[in-house]
Structure 1
Amino acid sequence: IGMVVGTKQGLPLVYVTVGTTQFDSLINALLTQEVLKLIFNQGYRRMRMQIGRGTEPTLPTDAPLAIEYYRFKDSLAADMQEASLLISHAGAGSIMEGLRCKANVLVVVNDKLMHNHQQELAHELARRDHLVAATPDALLHALMEVRDKHGSMTPFPESDPEAFPRFLASSLGL
Protein backbone atom coordinates (compact mmCIF):
# COMPACT_ATOMS: atom_id res chain seq x y z
CA ILE A 1 0.00 0.00 0.00
CA GLY A 2 1.34 3.41 -0.94
CA MET A 3 0.30 5.63 1.93
CA VAL A 4 -2.06 5.36 4.87
CA VAL A 5 -3.52 8.09 7.07
CA GLY A 6 -5.43 6.70 10.06
CA THR A 7 -6.46 3.08 10.53
CA LYS A 8 -10.00 1.91 11.10
CA GLN A 9 -10.33 -1.65 9.81
CA GLY A 10 -13.80 -3.16 9.62
CA LEU A 11 -15.66 0.15 9.25
CA PRO A 12 -17.67 1.21 6.15
CA LEU A 13 -15.36 1.54 3.14
CA VAL A 14 -15.40 3.73 0.05
CA TYR A 15 -13.30 2.06 -2.63
CA VAL A 16 -12.03 4.09 -5.58
CA THR A 17 -10.51 2.63 -8.75
CA VAL A 18 -9.07 4.36 -11.80
CA GLY A 19 -7.88 1.13 -13.43
CA THR A 20 -4.53 1.17 -15.23
CA THR A 21 -4.86 4.76 -16.33
CA GLN A 22 -4.29 8.18 -14.77
CA PHE A 23 -7.29 10.10 -13.44
CA ASP A 24 -5.84 12.76 -11.13
CA SER A 25 -8.91 15.01 -11.40
CA LEU A 26 -11.02 12.29 -9.75
CA ILE A 27 -8.48 11.60 -6.98
CA ASN A 28 -8.01 15.32 -6.30
CA ALA A 29 -11.78 15.92 -6.21
CA LEU A 30 -12.16 13.11 -3.67
CA LEU A 31 -9.51 14.61 -1.39
CA THR A 32 -11.16 18.02 -1.01
CA GLN A 33 -12.40 18.83 2.50
CA GLU A 34 -15.95 19.29 1.20
CA VAL A 35 -16.09 15.80 -0.35
CA LEU A 36 -14.31 14.11 2.57
CA LYS A 37 -16.72 15.72 5.03
CA LEU A 38 -19.73 14.60 2.98
CA ILE A 39 -18.40 11.03 2.74
CA PHE A 40 -17.81 11.00 6.50
CA ASN A 41 -21.29 12.42 7.18
CA GLN A 42 -22.74 9.63 5.03
CA GLY A 43 -21.28 7.12 7.50
CA TYR A 44 -18.10 6.02 5.75
CA ARG A 45 -14.97 5.80 7.87
CA ARG A 46 -12.39 4.51 5.39
CA MET A 47 -11.42 5.31 1.81
CA ARG A 48 -9.09 3.10 -0.22
CA MET A 49 -7.95 4.46 -3.58
CA GLN A 50 -6.35 2.56 -6.44
CA ILE A 51 -4.58 5.41 -8.26
CA GLY A 52 -3.10 3.60 -11.28
CA ARG A 53 -0.47 5.67 -13.11
CA GLY A 54 -1.66 8.90 -11.52
CA THR A 55 0.37 11.39 -9.54
CA GLU A 56 0.85 10.39 -5.91
CA PRO A 57 -1.74 12.40 -3.99
CA THR A 58 -1.01 14.47 -0.93
CA LEU A 59 -3.35 13.12 1.72
CA PRO A 60 -4.85 15.68 4.09
CA THR A 61 -3.58 15.06 7.62
CA ASP A 62 -6.84 16.34 9.10
CA ALA A 63 -9.13 14.05 7.07
CA PRO A 64 -12.21 12.90 8.99
CA LEU A 65 -11.74 9.31 7.77
CA ALA A 66 -8.85 6.89 7.24
CA ILE A 67 -7.43 7.15 3.70
CA GLU A 68 -5.05 4.79 1.94
CA TYR A 69 -3.94 4.33 -1.64
CA TYR A 70 -1.93 2.06 -3.88
CA ARG A 71 -1.12 1.96 -7.59
CA PHE A 72 -1.90 -1.58 -8.73
CA LYS A 73 -2.87 -5.04 -7.46
CA ASP A 74 -3.25 -8.31 -9.34
CA SER A 75 -6.97 -8.25 -8.55
CA LEU A 76 -9.29 -5.53 -7.26
CA ALA A 77 -12.11 -7.99 -6.54
CA ALA A 78 -11.53 -8.24 -2.76
CA ASP A 79 -11.43 -4.45 -2.38
CA MET A 80 -14.59 -4.08 -4.48
CA GLN A 81 -16.39 -6.76 -2.44
CA GLU A 82 -15.41 -5.08 0.85
CA ALA A 83 -16.74 -1.68 -0.24
CA SER A 84 -20.08 -0.18 0.71
CA LEU A 85 -19.58 2.49 -1.97
CA LEU A 86 -17.58 1.91 -5.14
CA ILE A 87 -16.36 4.95 -7.06
CA SER A 88 -14.98 3.84 -10.42
CA HIS A 89 -13.60 5.32 -13.59
CA ALA A 90 -15.75 4.59 -16.64
CA GLY A 91 -13.78 1.63 -18.01
CA ALA A 92 -16.17 -1.12 -19.09
CA GLY A 93 -14.32 -3.85 -17.17
CA SER A 94 -14.32 -1.91 -13.91
CA ILE A 95 -17.98 -0.95 -14.31
CA MET A 96 -19.09 -4.53 -14.99
CA GLU A 97 -17.01 -5.91 -12.11
CA GLY A 98 -18.39 -3.20 -9.82
CA LEU A 99 -22.00 -3.95 -10.74
CA ARG A 100 -21.51 -7.53 -9.49
CA CYS A 101 -20.68 -6.23 -5.99
CA LYS A 102 -23.06 -5.38 -3.17
CA ALA A 103 -21.83 -1.77 -3.14
CA ASN A 104 -23.60 1.25 -4.56
CA VAL A 105 -21.71 2.23 -7.72
CA LEU A 106 -20.75 5.77 -8.71
CA VAL A 107 -19.01 5.95 -12.09
CA VAL A 108 -16.95 9.07 -12.73
CA VAL A 109 -16.35 9.82 -16.39
CA ASN A 110 -13.09 11.47 -17.40
CA ASP A 111 -14.55 14.35 -19.40
CA LYS A 112 -11.06 15.35 -20.59
CA LEU A 113 -10.87 12.33 -22.94
CA MET A 114 -11.73 12.80 -26.61
CA HIS A 115 -14.09 10.32 -28.34
CA ASN A 116 -15.24 9.11 -24.95
CA HIS A 117 -17.21 5.91 -25.60
CA GLN A 118 -16.97 5.06 -21.90
CA GLN A 119 -19.26 7.99 -21.19
CA GLU A 120 -22.00 6.40 -23.31
CA LEU A 121 -21.86 3.14 -21.31
CA ALA A 122 -21.87 4.94 -17.95
CA HIS A 123 -24.79 7.17 -18.90
CA GLU A 124 -26.84 4.29 -20.34
CA LEU A 125 -26.36 2.23 -17.14
CA ALA A 126 -27.29 5.31 -15.10
CA ARG A 127 -30.40 5.80 -17.25
CA ARG A 128 -31.36 2.20 -16.40
CA ASP A 129 -30.78 3.06 -12.72
CA HIS A 130 -27.96 0.52 -12.14
CA LEU A 131 -25.53 3.23 -11.02
CA VAL A 132 -24.96 6.97 -10.73
CA ALA A 133 -22.72 8.63 -13.34
CA ALA A 134 -20.90 11.95 -12.98
CA THR A 135 -17.79 13.93 -13.86
CA PRO A 136 -15.17 15.00 -11.29
CA ASP A 137 -16.70 18.50 -11.16
CA ALA A 138 -20.10 17.04 -10.21
CA LEU A 139 -18.75 14.61 -7.59
CA LEU A 140 -20.36 16.29 -4.58
CA HIS A 141 -23.82 16.26 -6.18
CA ALA A 142 -23.34 12.66 -7.37
CA LEU A 143 -22.44 11.49 -3.85
CA MET A 144 -25.68 13.01 -2.59
CA GLU A 145 -27.58 11.28 -5.39
CA VAL A 146 -26.03 7.91 -4.45
CA ARG A 147 -27.11 8.50 -0.84
CA ASP A 148 -30.65 9.38 -1.95
CA LYS A 149 -30.88 6.27 -4.16
CA HIS A 150 -29.35 3.91 -1.55
CA GLY A 151 -31.21 0.63 -1.67
CA SER A 152 -33.40 1.63 -4.61
CA MET A 153 -31.02 1.19 -7.55
CA THR A 154 -31.87 -1.62 -9.95
CA PRO A 155 -29.56 -4.62 -9.46
CA PHE A 156 -27.63 -5.52 -12.59
CA PRO A 157 -28.80 -8.90 -13.97
CA GLU A 158 -26.56 -11.87 -13.21
CA SER A 159 -24.61 -13.03 -16.23
CA ASP A 160 -25.58 -16.36 -17.72
CA PRO A 161 -22.46 -18.35 -18.66
CA GLU A 162 -24.63 -20.82 -20.62
CA ALA A 163 -26.24 -18.14 -22.84
CA PHE A 164 -23.63 -18.23 -25.61
CA PRO A 165 -23.32 -22.05 -25.74
CA ARG A 166 -27.16 -22.26 -25.91
CA PHE A 167 -27.23 -19.67 -28.69
CA LEU A 168 -24.49 -21.51 -30.58
CA ALA A 169 -26.19 -24.89 -30.16
CA SER A 170 -29.56 -23.58 -31.34
CA SER A 171 -27.96 -21.73 -34.26
CA LEU A 172 -26.20 -24.90 -35.38
CA GLY A 173 -29.29 -27.04 -34.83
CA LEU A 174 -27.67 -29.14 -32.12
Structure 2
Amino acid sequence: MSDSNNGGVPPSPKKVCFVTIGATASFASLIYAVLSTAFFAALEVYGYTDLLVQYGKDGEELYRRRLKEIRDTGLYSRITASGFGLDAAGLGKYMRLAKAGGEGGAEGVVVSHAGSGTILDALRMAVPLIVVPNEELLDNHQVELAEALAEQEYVVHGRITDLPKALAEAEKLRVRQKDWPPVNSGAHQHSKGLADVMDEEMGFLD
Protein backbone atom coordinates (compact mmCIF):
# COMPACT_ATOMS: atom_id res chain seq x y z
CA MET A 1 0.00 0.00 0.00
CA SER A 2 1.28 3.46 -0.78
CA ASP A 3 0.17 6.98 -0.17
CA SER A 4 1.31 9.97 -2.21
CA ASN A 5 0.75 13.65 -1.58
CA ASN A 6 2.95 15.33 -4.19
CA GLY A 7 0.06 17.02 -6.03
CA GLY A 8 2.15 17.53 -9.16
CA VAL A 9 4.92 19.36 -7.30
CA PRO A 10 8.43 18.23 -8.30
CA PRO A 11 9.71 15.82 -5.64
CA SER A 12 12.15 17.16 -3.09
CA PRO A 13 15.26 15.18 -2.11
CA LYS A 14 14.13 12.19 -0.09
CA LYS A 15 14.91 11.42 3.52
CA VAL A 16 13.58 7.96 4.33
CA CYS A 17 12.59 6.38 7.63
CA PHE A 18 12.42 2.61 7.12
CA VAL A 19 10.64 0.60 9.81
CA THR A 20 10.92 -3.18 9.97
CA ILE A 21 9.34 -5.67 12.37
CA GLY A 22 11.05 -8.70 10.81
CA ALA A 23 9.62 -11.84 9.26
CA THR A 24 8.82 -14.12 12.16
CA ALA A 25 7.03 -12.41 15.05
CA SER A 26 4.19 -9.90 15.11
CA PHE A 27 5.01 -6.48 16.53
CA ALA A 28 1.72 -4.59 16.42
CA SER A 29 2.80 -2.06 19.03
CA LEU A 30 5.68 -0.86 16.82
CA ILE A 31 3.38 -0.45 13.81
CA TYR A 32 0.92 1.42 16.02
CA ALA A 33 3.64 3.70 17.40
CA VAL A 34 5.17 4.74 14.07
CA LEU A 35 1.72 5.38 12.58
CA SER A 36 0.84 7.99 15.16
CA THR A 37 0.44 11.75 14.94
CA ALA A 38 3.32 12.20 17.39
CA PHE A 39 5.73 10.20 15.24
CA PHE A 40 4.60 11.86 11.99
CA ALA A 41 5.09 15.25 13.63
CA ALA A 42 8.63 14.26 14.62
CA LEU A 43 9.34 13.05 11.08
CA GLU A 44 8.38 16.48 9.75
CA VAL A 45 10.50 18.26 12.36
CA TYR A 46 13.60 16.34 11.25
CA GLY A 47 12.97 16.74 7.54
CA TYR A 48 11.81 13.25 6.61
CA THR A 49 9.89 12.93 3.36
CA ASP A 50 9.10 9.19 3.34
CA LEU A 51 7.99 6.56 5.83
CA LEU A 52 8.34 2.97 4.65
CA VAL A 53 6.91 0.26 6.92
CA GLN A 54 7.56 -3.47 6.68
CA TYR A 55 4.57 -4.59 8.72
CA GLY A 56 4.95 -8.37 8.54
CA LYS A 57 2.66 -11.19 7.56
CA ASP A 58 -0.31 -10.13 9.70
CA GLY A 59 0.09 -6.38 10.10
CA GLU A 60 -1.56 -5.06 6.94
CA GLU A 61 -4.98 -4.36 8.43
CA LEU A 62 -3.46 -2.40 11.31
CA TYR A 63 -1.17 -0.52 8.92
CA ARG A 64 -4.04 0.50 6.65
CA ARG A 65 -6.30 1.54 9.51
CA ARG A 66 -3.68 3.59 11.32
CA LEU A 67 -2.51 5.31 8.14
CA LYS A 68 -6.10 6.25 7.27
CA GLU A 69 -6.51 7.77 10.73
CA ILE A 70 -3.38 9.85 10.15
CA ARG A 71 -4.55 11.03 6.74
CA ASP A 72 -8.03 11.84 8.05
CA THR A 73 -6.47 14.49 10.30
CA GLY A 74 -5.46 16.47 7.21
CA LEU A 75 -2.00 16.97 8.71
CA TYR A 76 1.49 15.75 7.78
CA SER A 77 0.84 15.93 4.05
CA ARG A 78 4.56 16.25 3.39
CA ILE A 79 5.18 12.67 4.50
CA THR A 80 4.70 9.98 1.85
CA ALA A 81 3.91 6.61 3.45
CA SER A 82 4.12 3.13 1.97
CA GLY A 83 4.17 -0.37 3.38
CA PHE A 84 4.59 -4.05 2.58
CA GLY A 85 4.34 -7.39 4.34
CA LEU A 86 7.40 -9.44 3.45
CA ASP A 87 10.05 -9.44 0.73
CA ALA A 88 11.76 -12.75 -0.04
CA ALA A 89 14.68 -10.84 -1.55
CA GLY A 90 15.49 -9.33 1.83
CA LEU A 91 15.54 -5.83 3.26
CA GLY A 92 18.83 -4.58 1.87
CA LYS A 93 17.34 -2.36 -0.80
CA TYR A 94 15.05 -0.68 1.72
CA MET A 95 17.95 -0.01 4.09
CA ARG A 96 19.88 1.48 1.19
CA LEU A 97 16.96 3.84 0.61
CA ALA A 98 17.22 4.93 4.24
CA LYS A 99 20.97 5.32 3.83
CA ALA A 100 20.91 7.41 0.67
CA GLY A 101 17.32 8.53 0.11
CA GLY A 102 17.70 8.11 -3.64
CA GLU A 103 19.61 10.44 -5.94
CA GLY A 104 20.35 13.69 -4.16
CA GLY A 105 18.65 12.50 -1.00
CA ALA A 106 19.63 12.81 2.63
CA GLU A 107 20.59 10.05 5.01
CA GLY A 108 17.60 8.79 6.98
CA VAL A 109 17.15 6.15 9.65
CA VAL A 110 16.16 2.51 10.17
CA VAL A 111 13.77 1.65 13.00
CA SER A 112 14.01 -2.06 13.73
CA HIS A 113 12.92 -4.79 16.06
CA ALA A 114 15.90 -6.19 17.97
CA GLY A 115 16.64 -9.02 15.55
CA SER A 116 20.38 -9.64 15.38
CA GLY A 117 20.43 -10.14 11.60
CA THR A 118 18.60 -6.90 10.92
CA ILE A 119 20.82 -5.00 13.34
CA LEU A 120 24.00 -6.29 11.70
CA ASP A 121 22.71 -5.50 8.21
CA ALA A 122 21.95 -1.90 9.18
CA LEU A 123 25.26 -1.43 10.97
CA ARG A 124 27.18 -2.78 7.97
CA MET A 125 25.56 -0.07 5.86
CA ALA A 126 26.38 2.53 8.52
CA VAL A 127 22.84 3.86 8.53
CA PRO A 128 21.62 5.32 11.85
CA LEU A 129 19.61 2.66 13.64
CA ILE A 130 16.90 2.77 16.30
CA VAL A 131 16.48 -0.63 17.94
CA VAL A 132 13.07 -1.21 19.53
CA PRO A 133 12.81 -4.36 21.64
CA ASN A 134 9.59 -6.33 21.43
CA GLU A 135 8.87 -6.71 25.11
CA GLU A 136 5.79 -8.79 24.34
CA LEU A 137 8.07 -11.74 23.54
CA LEU A 138 8.97 -14.07 26.36
CA ASP A 139 12.42 -15.45 27.18
CA ASN A 140 14.33 -13.20 24.82
CA HIS A 141 17.29 -10.86 25.25
CA GLN A 142 16.05 -8.01 23.10
CA VAL A 143 16.06 -5.39 25.84
CA GLU A 144 19.54 -6.39 27.02
CA LEU A 145 20.85 -6.35 23.44
CA ALA A 146 19.39 -2.91 22.72
CA GLU A 147 20.76 -1.51 25.97
CA ALA A 148 24.24 -2.95 25.39
CA LEU A 149 24.50 -1.67 21.82
CA ALA A 150 23.18 1.76 22.82
CA GLU A 151 25.68 2.00 25.66
CA GLN A 152 28.48 1.46 23.12
CA GLU A 153 26.83 4.12 20.91
CA TYR A 154 26.27 1.79 17.97
CA VAL A 155 22.51 2.35 18.00
CA VAL A 156 19.71 4.25 19.71
CA HIS A 157 17.62 2.20 22.13
CA GLY A 158 14.06 3.09 21.15
CA ARG A 159 11.09 2.65 23.41
CA ILE A 160 7.57 2.13 22.14
CA THR A 161 6.28 4.75 24.55
CA ASP A 162 8.51 7.54 23.16
CA LEU A 163 9.70 6.97 19.60
CA PRO A 164 9.77 10.71 18.77
CA LYS A 165 12.53 11.04 21.39
CA ALA A 166 14.40 8.15 19.77
CA LEU A 167 14.18 9.92 16.42
CA ALA A 168 15.76 13.01 17.98
CA GLU A 169 18.51 10.87 19.52
CA ALA A 170 19.17 9.27 16.13
CA GLU A 171 19.84 12.71 14.65
CA LYS A 172 22.41 13.35 17.39
CA LEU A 173 23.99 9.91 16.88
CA ARG A 174 24.26 10.62 13.14
CA VAL A 175 26.32 13.73 13.87
CA ARG A 176 28.54 11.96 16.40
CA GLN A 177 29.17 9.04 14.05
CA LYS A 178 30.51 11.41 11.42
CA ASP A 179 32.85 13.14 13.85
CA TRP A 180 36.41 12.12 14.56
CA PRO A 181 37.43 10.32 16.67
CA PRO A 182 34.70 7.67 16.36
CA VAL A 183 32.06 7.52 19.08
CA ASN A 184 33.38 4.11 20.18
CA SER A 185 36.82 5.45 21.02
CA GLY A 186 37.85 7.33 24.15
CA ALA A 187 35.83 6.18 27.12
CA HIS A 188 34.66 3.14 25.16
CA GLN A 189 38.01 2.09 23.72
CA HIS A 190 38.46 -0.73 26.25
CA SER A 191 34.81 -1.79 26.12
CA LYS A 192 33.46 -4.77 24.26
CA GLY A 193 33.40 -4.52 20.49
CA LEU A 194 30.28 -5.04 18.41
CA ALA A 195 30.94 -8.74 17.85
CA ASP A 196 31.50 -9.28 21.57
CA VAL A 197 28.28 -7.48 22.49
CA MET A 198 26.24 -9.38 19.91
CA ASP A 199 27.69 -12.75 20.87
CA GLU A 200 27.25 -12.22 24.59
CA GLU A 201 23.71 -10.86 24.42
CA MET A 202 22.54 -13.46 21.90
CA GLY A 203 24.12 -16.28 23.88
CA PHE A 204 26.97 -17.16 21.53
CA LEU A 205 29.56 -17.66 24.25
CA ASP A 206 32.36 -20.23 24.27
TM interval, shorter chain, is: 0.7 to 0.9
Whether the 8 Å CA contact 2:135–2:142 is kept in 1: the answer is no
Q: Matched residue of 2:39: which SS? A: helix
The answer to whether 1:18 aligns with 2:21 is yes
Distance 1:34 1:105 in 2: 19
The answer to whether 1:5 aligns with 2:29 is no
Instruction: Write out the 4+ residue segments of structure 1 that deviate beyond 6 Å after TM superposition.
Output: none
Q: Percent identity?
A: 28
Corresponding pairs, count: 156
Match of 2:85 among 52, 64, 71: 71
Q: TM-score, normalised by structure 2?
A: 0.69
Equivalence for 2:45: 41
Consecutive unaligned residues of structure 2, counting only runs of 5 or more, are 99-107, 178-182, 185-192, 196-206
Shift of 1:158: 9.5
The answer to whether 1:29 aligns with 2:53 is no
CA RMSD across the alignment:
2.1
Distance 2:153 2:194 in 1: 16
Distance 2:113 2:174 in 1: 20
Whether the 8 Å CA contact 1:13–1:47 is kept in 2: the answer is yes
Distance 1:99 1:30 in 2: 21
Q: Matched residue of 1:75: which SS? A: coil
Distance 1:138 1:98 in 2: 22
Which residues of 2 match residues 88-167 of structure 1 at below 5 A? 88-153=112-177, 154=183
Consecutive unaligned residues of structure 1, counting only runs of 5 or more, are 160-174
Distance 2:130 2:52 in 1: 15
Counterpart amino acid of residue 27 in structure 2: F
Distance 1:36 1:67 in 2: 10
Shift of 1:151: 2.0
Distance 2:166 2:14 in 1: 22
Shift of 1:118: 2.1
Match of 1:53 among 54, 57, 64: 57
Shift of 1:108: 0.7
Shift of 1:125: 0.8
Q: TM-score, normalised by structure 1?
A: 0.81
Which structure carries more helix by proportion?
2
Whether the 8 Å CA contact 1:18–1:52 is kept in 2: the answer is yes
